[in-house]
Structure 1
Amino acid sequence: MTTSSHPRPDVRIATAADADVLERLWALFRHDLSDVTGELPRPDGRFRDERLRAALDGAPGWCAHLAAVDGRPVAFALVRGVDSPVRVLSAFFVARAARRHGVGRAVAADVLRRTPGTWEIAFQDANPAAAAFWPRVAADVAGDRWALEHRAVPGGRDLPPDAWIRLRVA
C-alpha cells in the first residue's frame, strides 16, 4: 500500500452498522497497545473495551470515526467530549499495512479539523511511534498552537505519567 497508488482515506462518523468492524479493529488496537501497556486479554479472550462501548452505545459526548481506503477499513478514532469545550481523542488506530503511508496523519487531521476548538490527545512515551506521530499531527493541524505536558495516570501510582498534547484547531 502506498499513498501514491491508493486514494486518501475516506473518514466518516461511524454508525451502529459499523459495530462489528470497529470491534474487530479494536481488538487489533488493544493487541498492538499491549506491547506498551503489558495488558493481557480478559479470561474471555477480549481486551477491555469501555471506551469503544461508550462510542458504539451512543453515550453522551462520544462518537466514533471510521476510515477506509478503497472501501476497506484501515483506521478508527474515538472521541469523547464532542459536546464539551475540550474534546479528547480517546483512541486512535491505523492498521499496520496502512502505516507509514500518510494514512494516519490524514485520518487524524480530518477528525481534528471536523470540530474546531481545543483538543487533547494522550499517549505513552514508552510508545515511540506515538511519541513521534502525535507532535507531527499537532504541528500539521495547529501550527504552533499546541503544547505537550505529562500528567499522572488517575489511580496509576505505579505507572509513568501519560504524555498529553493540547492543541487548538482553527
Structure 2
Amino acid sequence: MWPLNTIYVHEQLGKSLSAAGMVLMLNSGASVAGNLVGGLLFDKIGGFKSMMIGIVATMAVLVGLVFFHGWPHYVIFLTIIGMGSGIVFPIAAAYAGVIWPEGGFVNSTAMAGRTIGPVLGGLIADYAGMKPLFAVLVFFSVLSLVTTFFYDWNLPKKQNKEKQTVIVE
C-alpha cells in the first residue's frame, strides 16, 4: 500500500516525496491510535460492534475517495482509513485466534492477501486509474462488512465462569 500511495501523492497529486512521507506518517499514526481506540471499544461494547464501527468508517471514507481523491481530501481520507483499519486489525487477529486456535491457515491467508493486494492494486491503478481502484476497495470493504456481519453469529461464545464475562461478543 505504501509504495502505491507514495507514487500517487508524488506523481498524480504533484506533491513532494516529503509530503508523501508525511501523508503516510499520518496514516500510520492514525492506525496506531485506532489500535488503542479499538481496544477500548472492544472492552466497552465488544468485538463485533467494534469491528463493525471500524469497517463502516473505512468503507464510508473509501466511498468518499471514489469521488474526492485530490489534495487535501486524499490526506484527510487516508488518515481516517488508518484509524478505521487500526480499529479492525487487532479485533480481526483476536477473531482469527478464536476461529483457528492453532494459527497457521488464517494467518497465512491474511499474509497472502497483504502480499497480493498491493500487486493487484498497482495493476488496476496502472491500467484503469485511481477512481476504479477506489471503487474496488469499496467493494472489498462491503464484502468485509457482510462477511463480518454474518459470520460473527457462528462464533462460539465462551464464558469465563469466574467473572461471567463474554470473551467474544
**TM-score for both structures, normalised by structure 1:** 0.29
Greater relative contact order (Cα 8 A, min sep 6): structure 1 or 2? 2
The structure having more radius of gyration, on CA atoms, is 2
